[in-house]
Homo-oligomer: A and B are copies of this chain.
Amino acid sequence: MSRVVTFGEIMLRLVPNGYERFFQSSQMSATFGGAEANVAVSLANFGVDVSFVTKVPDNPIGRGAIQNLRGFGVDTKEIVFGGDRLGIYFLEKGISQRASVCIYDRNHSAIQQSSPRDFDWDRIFDGAEWFHFTGITPALGDNLIQICREACHQAKKKGLTISCDLNYRRKLWDTKKAGQVMSDLCRDVDVCIVNEEDAKDVFGIKIKHSDIRGAKIDKEEYKEIARQLGERFDFDKVAVTLRTSYSASINHWAGILYDKEQFYTSRDYELRVIDRVGGGDSFGAGLIYSILNGKDGQDAIEFATAASALKHTIEGDFNRVSVQEVEKLADGNQSGRVER
Residues on A facing B (Cβ under 8 Å):
14, 18-31, 59-61, 64, 67-68, 70-73, 84-85, 88, 90-92, 94-105, 107-108, 169-171, 212-214, 245-249, 269, 271-274, 276-277, 306, 309-310, 312-316, 320-321, 325, 328-329, 333-340
Contact = CB atoms under 8 A, between A and B. Distances in A.
25 contacts: A19-B315, A22-B60, A22-B61, A23-B61, A23-B64, A23-B67, A24-B316, A27-B27, A28-B29, A28-B30, A60-B90, A61-B103, A85-B105, A95-B274, A96-B274, A96-B336, A97-B306, A97-B309, A99-B328, A99-B337, A99-B338, A100-B336, A101-B339, A102-B338, A245-B336
A323 B235 CA distance: 45
Contact of A70 (B30, B73, B335): B73
B23 A30 contact: yes
Given A313-B97, A335-B214, A71 B67 contact: yes
Contact of A336 (B98, B104, B306, B321): B98
The secondary-structure label for the interface of chain A is loop
Nearest to A171: B340
Assembly stoichiometry (copies) = 6
B19 A26 contact: no
Nearest to A309: B97
Contacts of A18: 18, 315
A274 B105 CA distance: 29
Contacts of A104: 340
Given A22-B60, A26-B29, A272-B247, A334 B97 contact: yes
Nearest to A306: B97
Contacts of A329: 97
Nearest to A197: B337
A101 B60 contact: yes
Given A61-B105, A107-B108, 17 more contacts: A14-B14, A14-B30, A25-B25, A25-B27, A59-B103, A61-B90, A67-B72, A67-B73, A96-B312, A97-B309, A99-B338, A100-B338, A213-B334, A247-B272, A247-B334, A248-B337, A249-B336
A213 B213 CA distance: 29
A90 B61 CA distance: 9
Nearest to A274: B19
A243 to B, nearest CB: 9
Given A67-B71, A85-B107, A336 B23 contact: no
B21 A314 contact: yes
Contacts of A108: 107-108
Contacts of A103: 59-61
A177 to B, nearest CB: 17
Contact of A340 (B26, B30, B59, B102): B102
